[in-house]
Amino acid sequence: MSAYIYAARRTPFGKFNGGLAGVRPDDLAAHAIRAVLADVPGLDPAAIDDVVWGNANGAGEENRNVGRMAALLADLPTSVPGTTINRLCGSGLDAAMMASRQIETGDADIVLTGGVESMTRAPWVLPKPDRAFPARDMTAVSTTLGWRLVNPAMPKEWTVSLGEGNEQLQERFGISRAQQDEFAVRSHERAHAAWESGFYDDLVTPVTPPKGDAVVRDESIRPSSTVESLAGLKPAFRPDGTITAGNASPLNDGASSVLLGSEAAAKTLGVDPIARIVGRGTMALEPQAFGYAPVEAANRALARAGIGWDQVGAVELNEAFAVQSLACVGVWPIDPAIVNTRGGAIAIGHPLGASGGRILATLAKVLREDKQRYGVAAICIGVGQGLAVVLENPEAVS
């Protein structure tokens, strides 16, 4: 039995403290759920067997199982169960992978997946003191991104910042600042062109916050970016480093949702599938080298799909950093031109839990538009992991 993607929607990805800053993450998630279900009007929501949702933080308004909370806020019947999973940046993609296994084993027929992150609204946290009312200062720790409240037993080399880990990757592969800036500019150019062409019109649904104007497009795209303008930015992690705010993904808010089902679910849903999941791969290595983990994750996913890189016509690789994207693309035997043809996370944004659903939905549409049969969606994950999924375009099957 195979698992298919039937519909996918996401919110625009808002800037940190941008247009979506006033929207709670559980409300963003509910908005994405309502949008994807509107694309399958023949579906009785009570027929959904499970909701599997990704979220990387879980420390703020998305606490208490945001997948279940979002389903309730979206007015799904109380009989529809829901769970939230956390594989950091890969949470949304992992949600779809888990759901596909449920379907393949016959445990479910229709599963609603997705992910959400509000990096703006991520709270500060205080560790509990060892006794009541200590007579010392306490430090609030941001939960927006990266390590926090680190266990002292962890080796120091494992707990470096995400940026420092990627500066180490830059040293390992000799990827220059100019190469990273060129990659970033291409991301902005392609994302802008995709929006202008209408590519995202049926993938993104606007959000109107409680206060302010509707957010219609991804807010971080800068079509005016040039290699010259990015070259003027200061390094962010080392005084003499190569990674800047211009060649790394920004902080963002957003949600995505992907509806999966069995082949037989087409009758219940009243729509044809847009992609079939044919391979999955998971990889782990040293925490500081996380940016390189998609390499083997994708290789494993292709092996399980029973195909080779020569059959891949499109790749969606989440651009956490330009340097890690270039490192991965540099060792895969592919034409770099097929990677992120409609822009990537450097331009579009990377609201952690939502990014997996974004790249999966984008890949499915790219395969259809470009008339390609197979594609790979891959993502790197903090603390040394990577995930990948191979999709097949049903329209391209002879």
Q: Strand pairing of 110-118 and 124-125?
A: unpaired
d(CA 118, CA 251): 9
From the candidates 31, 188, 328, 380, give the one annotated as an active-site residue: 380
To the query of whether residue 350 is one of the catalytic residues in this protein, the response is yes
Tell me the torsion sign for CA atoms 228, 232, 236, 238. Answer: positive
Cα maximum dimension of the chain: 73
Distances (CA, A) of 7 to 172, 271, 285: 40, 9, 33
Give the three-class secondary structure for 381: strand
- Cα 334 to Cα 140, 180, 313, 329, distances in angstroms: 45, 19, 9, 7
Eight-state DSSP code of residue 47: G
> DSSP labels for 204-229?
B--B--SSSPPB-S-TT--TT--HHH
First to last CA, the chain: 19
10 Å Cβ neighbour count for 129?
10
Please name the amino acid found at residue 104.
E
* Mutual angle of helices 322-331 and 162-173, in 10-degree steps: 40
Rounded Cα distance, 367 and 336, in Å: 16
Candidates 31, 89, 188, 192; catalytic one: 89
CA angle 358, 91, 349 (to 5 degrees): 40
What is the token pair recorded at 182? 């060129």
Residue 188 tokens read as 């902005």
- In whole angstroms, give the CA distance from residue 110 to residue 107: 10
Catalytic residues: 89, 350, 380
